[in-house]
Structure 1
Amino acid sequence: MSFLPDFKLETYFSRWEFNTKYNLCASDTESLSLEYLLDLSDDKDKKSLEEIKFGYLETYGSTELREAISSTYNNSSYKDILTFAGAEEGIYVAMKSILSKKDHAIVITPNYQSAQTLPTSICDVTAINLDSENNWNLDIQKIKDSLQPNTLLISINFPHNPTGKVISKSELNDIVNISRENNLYLFSDEIYRLMERDENKRLDQISDIYDKGISLNGMSKTYGMPGIRIGWISCKDHSLLDKMEKLKHYLSICNSTPNEILSIIALKYRSKIIERSRKIIKNNLVKLNSFFQKYDNLFEWKEPDGGCIGFPKYNGPEGVEVFCENLIKEKSVLLLPSSVYNSNLINSPNNHFRIGYGRLNMPEGLSQLKNFIDKN
């Protein structure tokens, strides 16, 4: 049995996320309150909350929740949906259900650690870094060159964590064609979808356009409900979904009943919730762009294509690790240094850090960052 390495990002957050005043690297949008959701709700929605019974649910998720989720796709039914206790469980179950020791996988990096450490714990993996010197572009030829006779899966994530990069539609089609020609699964983490700067650049959801496409999403980011712990996979391969469901029996078994009901209500009013998230991001980016323009001697920054996080470079002499450490000590402001994205598979580009701009208090944290720089 291969043991998983320490989850550096989550370990870092365990130490600092709730022990600093300003989380300036948060990867989510401003969390919804129950009051906000109830204000959107009609009498039928409120009655469904009042009538909740705290019993077990189907492992797949209730039909009502799966129908609500499938309505967010262009070409899906509830039978294509398997729900999880958060998107992270979906990553774990998918990789464990698809890959075996004899296989090979290709993973786009840097990324959320489990997307690379989970397949690496199972089989051989080739990592392909986005180009930090060229607007985080993806070299499609590197994917082709990395193919092996036993390659079974390609894993992608756009809008990208942590850079916010969105590849072009033609590049996505190239990846789909590579997957189709080689009979590969294409795992697509789409958790930051719907937060693109330009909606014309929004990519299709993989499960809508490829029969071996696996779309991962959840309530945590765009919908501002990370504490609900509801994620899902959309996939047309029902035999694979059945295999994943059997593995889920060893994990969460089923979702929380109140969380399913709250997710159903939120998805019903998703257009208003998404508009709220996008407005916060738009307002924060005005301030963030102005900040980086003022301090362009210290930072390299380009507004991300999508999502609510970015990955600027720090050019100060002490390096990003010391910079982030001193910022915590002096101003109680949390940024995420690029070393957290390093793994045994590949290193993240040096001296970058993750910054988040999806929360309402981002301007306050940014003001503290400015004070720290001016003082030092």
Structure 2
Amino acid sequence: MKIAPFRIEQYYAVHEFTAPHMLSSSDAESVAIAEVLALEPDAAERLFAQRLGYTESVGAPELRAAAAALYDTTSPDDVIVVAAAEEAIFVAYHALLQPGDHVVVETPCYESALEVARSAGADVTEWCRSAGNGWAHDLDALEAALRPDTRLVYTNTPHNPTGLLMPRQVLDRVVELCAERGAWLFADEVYRELEHDPADRLPAAVDLYDRALSLGSMSKTYGLPGLRLGWLASRDRAVLARIVDLKHYTTICSSAPSELLSALALRHRHVFADRSRAIVLANLELVDAFLERHAERFSWVRPTASTIGFVRIEGVEDTSVFCQQLVADAGVLLLPGTVYDVPTHVRLGFGRSAMPMALGLFEAWIETRS
């Protein structure tokens, strides 16, 4: 297998644990294990009694049940547990795709959604969204990209890196177009339940289409990336079985303590989602004020969900140089849009409680350069 370097992760490997101030994080504020255990009276006792043996490849029954509860049409048997979103993308693509299969990927995107499809030998067409039209979803462009034999369509909503929700009418049309061809819809929904207005929440793809895979994760909305777990939900149990067959060549099974803690957290997921939303909305007010003060230099399409937004820097054609100078001078880490092939933008994260300090240091650095 040949695969291109994963630029986002390469960038973070250099800077994430050395930069003092994060201003690009895609995950929400995390918590200590003790806070998770406090959600149920006997949780600590159950964790201490947990045997450290192998677990089921499909995932612990209590975790699959907790994940299935996020959807309207699924049971625990419609869910498999994976090692976060990365393994989900890898095993699902390799289970579903053969060399030469046609795939359409919504871009810009988390790079593995594009490159893993290519590594599986697929013929990949990008459904490109553009800052020029406010990151709107161009359905005519999608229809032009699709073929009669398209095998799979990848979508991401709420979207990384823009933080925007797909309009409901667009989602419905995407489902229709996939159904017309019998194509799989791989729906990356890792920021679901972190809509800035919960009334805007979309139905999960798995509840709309019998050939959909909905991807969820502990990492983003719930702020628990250290558990390293996610899940795939689908009403097609045969394809889930094929995916598990691939998982036997990757992780085989998950960490028993992580499964226990993830199931516990998901049973109380609104505690984490509501906490994340409160931090996000408070920080968004600060970002709005910052952008207003520096409107001549920075702009964005205001996010409607998630912990992130995509900011354009006027007069900068390659933000990688800008970001490298910022982290060197001020210790503040932004993610350059070059990792998304959008070099005029940076990803800004506002899901953590320390974000105001990082934003203040960024603003002070900007003013020294004016």
TM class by shorter chain equals: over 0.9
TM-superposition CA deviations, 1:241-289 (whole Å, max 9, x none): 0000011011111000000000111112111111111101011101111
Partner of 1:14: helix, strand, or coil?
helix
2:76 equivalent among 75, 78, 82: 78
Alignment of 1:239-250 (within 5 A): 239-250=238-249
Give the unaligned 5+ runs of structure 1: 342-347
Partner of 2:88: helix, strand, or coil?
helix
CA distance in 1, matches of 2:106, 2:196: 22
Partner of 1:312: helix, strand, or coil?
strand
Match of 1:362 in 2: 355
CA distance in 1, matches of 2:148, 2:223: 41
Q: 8 Å contact 2:97–2:151 — kept in the other structure?
A: yes
CA distance in 2, matches of 1:134, 1:143: 15
- Give the C-alpha shift of residue 131 in structure 1: 2.2
- Give the C-alpha shift of residue 319 in structure 1: 4.4
CA distance in 2, matches of 1:370, 1:166: 28
- Give the C-alpha shift of residue 339 in structure 1: 0.8
TM-score w.r.t. length of structure 1:
0.96
Asked if 1:152 corresponds to 2:145, the answer is: no
Runs of 4+ in 1 over 6 A off after TM superposition: none
Amino acid in the other structure paired with 1:221: K
2:106 equivalent among 105, 108, 111: 108
Q: 8 Å contact 1:132–1:349 — kept in the other structure?
A: no
Identity over the aligned pairs, expressed in percent? Answer: 38
Match of 2:176 in 1: 177
Q: 8 Å contact 1:168–1:201 — kept in the other structure?
A: no
Amino acid in the other structure paired with 2:71: Y
Match of 1:374 in 2: 367
CA distance in 2, matches of 1:70, 1:147: 31
Alignment of 1:1-376 (within 5 A): 2-43=1-42, 45-121=43-119, 122-317=121-316, 319-341=318-340, 348-376=341-369
CA distance in 2, matches of 1:333, 1:136: 27
RMSD of aligned alpha carbons: 1.1
TM-score w.r.t. length of structure 2:
0.97
Q: 8 Å contact 2:149–2:181 — kept in the other structure?
A: no
CA distance in 2, matches of 1:367, 1:289: 13
Match of 1:344 in 2: none
Aligned residues: 368
CA distance in 1, matches of 2:344, 2:160: 16
Give the unaligned 5+ runs of structure 2: none
In structure 2, relative to structure 1, the CA distance for the partners of 1:296 and 1:22 (3 Å cut) is same
